[in-house]
Structure 1
């Protein structure tokens, strides 16, 4: 009997096709390779263009010069000082926006009365550029940290708020009908159905706000600050430290990529339920 079972298992294993690992891994590998090649070509062009005289080397140094200046700034600790100031301001303003925008967006999206009352005010402020209000924040709050927290809070609130409202409004009605047919309470309906279904759209707004927090802060630091990446870029420009200026710009780009990647990972963590649907 044991011999028969072994022979049957061997025959079945021969008939079962091997898992198609290459079919899924190879296209993703090619996609990653294409992106890498594009980045490499970009940096090679950056390195060669000033050497060939295609651009003025005094105003557009080679990529190796920028990396050298960037490394020296890291070793001296100067870049870390400005980076630390900017990241603390961004995180504080961003977290304040989350605490304000998500509960308010859930409230407005869930209750039509609140949505009807606040819609005119939302339409007014959503079309107001945050940087246009920067002089107002400086006049009211000064050029210290509070004004920078406030401008980031304002800039980050609207994408999170509007996406949260849209997420709650556009939840699949079948989910709601199925939940109501089970006679669950309104609180459980909101907590178990509405909130999980709204997570992907809410995170779209959070990712937009994460990028916006950095951009708005850099602009604010260029106007009134004594430290921060925005201040550092302006300072190096005025003192004609061009490689250091590009090093600061490169740092901002890397910071934006890291923040976006972290938010994508966080979104996947909170959207695991979609894999079960």
Structure 2
């Protein structure tokens, strides 16, 4: 009897196989996600050395990484990256501050939508790079034109997704909230806005990627610093490895920005469900 009592009193030991299986699953997930990138890196390194592609126009990855390191050590890469990030952040931040409130107004208030929809339909189909010369003519070749073109290009994905997020809220949620006595302001604050958060952040993530892509094209016109200028300058001077180093840097920045926006979205989504 005492042995049975002692056995019951002892805490159950966690099987050692569970942490091992979790570690194996985590390792497998990491390998799966990085397999394609690793394969691309191997192909990039091997094909130029085997002569499958011309190494003059596509140097091996090791040479590109060496050029990237030289640019980093010299400080040149950081100065160009800082210039690009400053412009991109300014235009992107202004787009969020303008497009989100405007999208909420258009999506929630029908008179505002009726007033602005014709104008939005005209400009939403005009590509940012197509009117880049207009920005340059009006605002010059300085920082203002570059920030303005980023603001223009980032506004539309945020604005359109915000409008869509407000308009596609489940009508049953709205009816239920109204039946509970919520007024228009509380209804919008407690039901519509939280339900629209995922769609709004989809637009913000699209705008984050667009802010970098548009900036690179804008920096190729009249800029004296920035990753777009670095790529353009390297191309004209046939510094091919430096050119690819700039492209890799842009890809890395885009990946980091996207992950930061995903983390921010999860934070707001957690707030929405509380």
TM-score > 0.5 by shorter chain: yes
Residue pairs, 1:16-165, within 5 angstroms:
27=25, 29-165=27-163
Q: Segments of 4+ in structure 1 off by > 6 A? A: 1-6, 16-25
Q: Which residue of 2 aligns with 1:261?
A: 259
Residue pairs, 1:219-258, within 5 angstroms:
219-258=217-256
- The 1:199/1:24 distance shift into structure 2, 3 A limit, reads farther
Q: CA RMSD in A?
A: 2.5
Q: Paired residues, what number? A: 274
| 3-state DSSP of counterpart to 2:220 | helix
CA contact (8 A) 2:194 2:272 kept: no
- The 1:192/1:74 distance shift into structure 2, 3 A limit, reads same
Counterpart selection for 1:185 from 172, 177, 183: 183
Give the drift of 1:112: 1.2
CA contact (8 A) 2:219 2:229 kept: yes
- The 1:21/1:192 distance shift into structure 2, 3 A limit, reads farther
- The 1:161/1:24 distance shift into structure 2, 3 A limit, reads farther
How far apart in 1 are the matches of 2:177 and 2:242? 58
Give the drift of 1:6: 6.2
TM-score (norm: length of structure 1)? 0.91
Structure 1: stretches of 5+ with no match in the other structure: none
Give the drift of 1:191: 1.1
- The 1:19/1:203 distance shift into structure 2, 3 A limit, reads farther
- The 1:24/1:116 distance shift into structure 2, 3 A limit, reads farther
- The 1:204/1:185 distance shift into structure 2, 3 A limit, reads same
Counterpart selection for 1:210 from 208, 231, 255: 208
- The 1:275/1:102 distance shift into structure 2, 3 A limit, reads closer
Give the drift of 1:63: 0.4
Which stretch shows the higher mean deviation, 67-76 or 171-180?
A: 171-180
| 3-state DSSP of counterpart to 2:238 | coil
Q: Deviations over 1:226-259 (max 9, x none)?
A: 1100011000111111111100000000000000
